[in-house]
Structure 1
Amino acid sequence: MKAILFNLHDVMQFITIYQCVLFALFLWLFRSKRRGNVLLALFLFAQAAIPLDNLIMYGTAFRQWAIDFSPNIFYLFGHAYWLEAPLLLLYVRAMIYRDYRIKRSDWLLFLPFVAYVLFEVVNYYRLDYAAKVVILQGYDTFAPPKLTLSVGFLRELFRIVCGILALIELLRYQKRIKDEFADIEKIDLTWLKILVLGFLAVRMDSMFVSTTLISSFAPSLGIDLDFWGLAADYAAMLLVSALIFFSMGHSQVFAGFSQPETKEAEKPEEKPIISPEQISQLETYMKEKKPYLNCLLNLENLSKQLQMSRGNLSQLINRHYQQNFFDFINTYRIDECKRLLSDPANKNQTMLEIMENAGFNSKASFNTFFKKKVGMTPTEFREKLNQTAS
């Protein structure tokens, strides 16, 4: 076989397919069946189908081979475009919310996929073999039919909307972190932000190409659509590589929190009533039991210890003390540090030991928060105490 079917760009597409399928199978077969892992595997399978669709539709020599093989494989893998975007959105939600369950409303994200399947059945798959070959032989990849362009535009618009929704979920998570956790040092959103923003940029690139084709401005403006199309393909390959690298090392990085209760989401204006008894209960518990000494303490842990709902406790801290959970707990820890540093019995303890005994497990957070609350570093505070004592 001497015919050359692939060029360098085609090889890049195969690398993307190989990476996606291999890592998806690894997640499916060898990782726990956590909802996040399953959704990530499905997303990767969808991502693998996209470059395969590109090869079939636009590969110079591969396209003709595909026509000879079977015209029925055309448009088949293009369905993945309508799946990868909602799957990435659901994956982000599964990473953020520990108790995430796919709701009935989430299935609406797959209605465009169903609509596209029906569209292709009516407009292509119901045709006989000869009619399909005629369509494919006469298809101009640089001047596709207006209906095809319109569907492509709607597809890219849908993918961008899903990307924006995923970004909104991340921003909401970032906003709520300090309301749920007292230690945020190890909560790293960077790689997931890169993933979401990266694929959003790829979709924006595809939208630019789609819009340019519809408007027919490319020739007059000298826009190289081949370049922009390939840029999106190479960017997708790099993003998949980054996804594999970072997800292997950071898949457990998110402690996650529970999804807001439905009625809270529907009626955000209804705030729980804060009673003096609840305030007294919280302050007494913090003073006597000192739960803040546990470096793993979070809002849900504390609410269970107090036998109070998570929402009520959060509202109590936010509204009565005008603080988020992070500031509230670490203020107690700073007071404990000051008490330990002031005790002569602890004069030989290192600052690291003082920090750990007060409930901190991050030196950076300890130093930063101590200086913010006290106005000096822990070391300066200790030196000032020693000068006063002498």
Structure 2
Amino acid sequence: MNILIHQLFLVLIYGGIVVGVFIVVLLNTRGVRKGRANFFLSVLLVALVFSVAHILFASQVINHLSAEVYTIGDPTFLLIAPLLWFYACEITGKPVKRSGWLMLHFLPFFVVIVLSLSLRSVNNADFLRALERFHRLIVVVFWVVVVVQFSVYQFWVQRRWRDYQNLIPREVSNTENVSIGWVRFFMGIFLCINLLFLFSLFAVIHLSLGEWLPRATAFVFALSILALSYKGILQREIFQYEEIKVNDVLTSASIAEKEKPDPARMQQLMTYMEHEKPYLDPELTLTTLAKAINITRSQLSQLINEGTGDNFYDFVNKYRVEQVKKLMADPAVKHFNMLGLAMEAGFKSKSTFNLIFKRFTGLTPTEYKKNLMP
């Protein structure tokens, strides 16, 4: 039984490495939609794969290459949190800006590498003896840095997800591609890795270290690779970041407080919605609608919020509900089932349609249709 468990353990770990490499190659293959989020997902998977490979093979390779390396801890652990943060930013439409400050996120990683390569090269017997004497303390400090760093980034990611959830109803008219389930899944991976690091810190302080801790770390990382590969390759950026100015979203509320909606623009918006019916497009966003009527996102957000009292999501879906009502009474589409009517009106799923229809009418679609019958 122990042999079987050990073999399954190895299969998962090596499987994580193989799947991670495969997904990285796939994400960077011609024909696959290139996106900044996919780039950071690729780099994150490379870091995790390298960490697993480092845990499995580093002791065998490094001992043959150099005797001067001082083992503080795996420096790649310090790459994971920043890369998770960058990926979270990109997937929620907040592009990571390229600047000199960007490298500060990786400063702990470089510091550990420099120390690992230089400490043993110091030609001082007293210093080397002190290194050996305080080795456990140095390792504890390393794990404290890892845990603190990861906890800080986890806080940032949670705050970013919260802002993202508030942004969704302002930007999209269908939420099927921006499900909160993915958010929870991502945060679950972040939390599991952080708990692993917390336990590793506890183990370094209170338990005798053996092969079990690195292997447990490799196992958790392999599972994280498999999870991120499966979910990440299916998830797309919520918004096209080139079209969005972050300040535009943040200042729309303050603009609305200072100005009242322009009646002429409000009439322009209503006329466009009634005649052009952009709500029939299930991919309609605040950005695309603003471009269509030639105003800014802030101005459109103000018109909708102040002029109707709704956010963008509710504003568009009210039109869709009214369109479904018209279709229910139209003999030309009486052969359509309820899902067909919903998709004709711009909805993307039956569950979302049922929920929204009842919220705005107080009846389920089936109940409403029965009331139409003579």
TM-score normalised per structure 2: 0.79
Asked if the contact 1:293–1:333 (Cα under 8 Å) also holds between the matched residues in 2, the reply is: yes
Asked if 1:198 is matched to 2:198, the reply is no
Partner of 1:41 in structure 2? 42
Q: Retained in 2: the 8 A contact 1:170–1:193? A: no
Query: Do 1:180 and 1:298's aligned partners in 2 also have CA atoms closer than 8 Å?
Result: yes
**Maintained 8 Å contact 1:52/1:77:** no
1:304 equivalenced with 2:291 (yes/no): yes
Counterpart AA for 1:175 = N
1:360 counterpart = 2:374: no
Contact kept, 8 Å, 1:46 with 1:83, in 2: the verdict is: yes
The Cα of 1:73 is off from its aligned counterpart by 5.6
Gaps of 5+ in 2: 1-5
Letter in 2 for 1:285: Y
Aligned partner of 1:188 in structure 2 is 179
Please say if 1:88 is aligned against 2:84: yes
SS in 1 for 2:164: helix
Q: Superposed, which structure 2 residues align to 1:1-390 within 5 Å?
A: 15-29=15-29, 31=32, 33-55=34-56, 62=60, 66-72=62-68, 75=71, 78-97=74-93, 100-104=95-99, 105-124=101-120, 126-127=121-122, 144-191=135-182, 193-211=184-202, 213=204, 216=205, 218=206, 230-248=215-233, 250-252=234-236, 254-258=237-241, 261=245, 263-264=247-248, 270-272=254-256, 273=259, 274-343=261-330, 347=334, 349-387=336-374
**Matched residue, 2:3:** none
Superposed displacement of residue 33, structure 1: 4.5
Q: Is the CA contact (8 Å cut-off) linking 2:280 and 2:345 kept in structure 1? A: yes
Contact 1:181–1:325 at 8 Å: present in 2 too? yes
* Uncovered stretches (5+) of structure 1, i.e. residues with no partner: 1-6
Identical residues among aligned pairs (%): 25
Q: Is the 8 A contact 1:153 1:211 kept in 2?
A: no
Matches of 1:338 and 1:182 in 2, distance apart?
Answer: 18
CA distance in 1, matches of 2:318, 2:12: 53
SS at match of 1:295: coil
Note the aligned Cα RMSD (angstroms).
Answer: 3.7
Q: Per chain length, whose mean CA-contact separation is higher, i.e. which structure has more relative contact order (CA < 8 Å, sep 6+)?
A: 2
> Does structure 2 conserve the Cα–Cα contact (< 8 Å) formed by 1:160 and 1:204?
no
Deviation of residue 374 (structure 1)? 1.3
CA contact (8 A) 2:49 2:225 kept: no
Aligned pair in 2 of structure 1 residues 380, 24: CA closer, same or farther (>3 Å)?
closer
Determine the C-alpha separation between the residues in 1 that align with 2:174 and 2:139: 51
Give the Cα separation in 2 of the matches to 1:208 and 1:340.
59
- How many residue pairs get aligned? The number is 360
Deviation digits for residues 265-308 of structure 1 (CA, Å, limit 9, x no counterpart): 88687324333333222222222322212222111111111111
1:328 deviates by 0.7
Provide closer, same or farther for how the CA distance between residues 96 and 307 of structure 1 changes in structure 2, counting only shifts above 3 A: same
Q: What is the SS of the residue equivalent to 1:366?
A: helix
CA distance in structure 1 between the partners assigned to 2:318 and 2:345 by the alignment:
11
Distance 1:312 1:117, change over 3 A: farther
Tell me the TM-score normalised to structure 1 length: 0.77
Query: How has the CA–CA distance of structure 1 residues 242 and 229 changed in structure 2, closer, same or farther, with 3 Å as cutoff?
Result: same
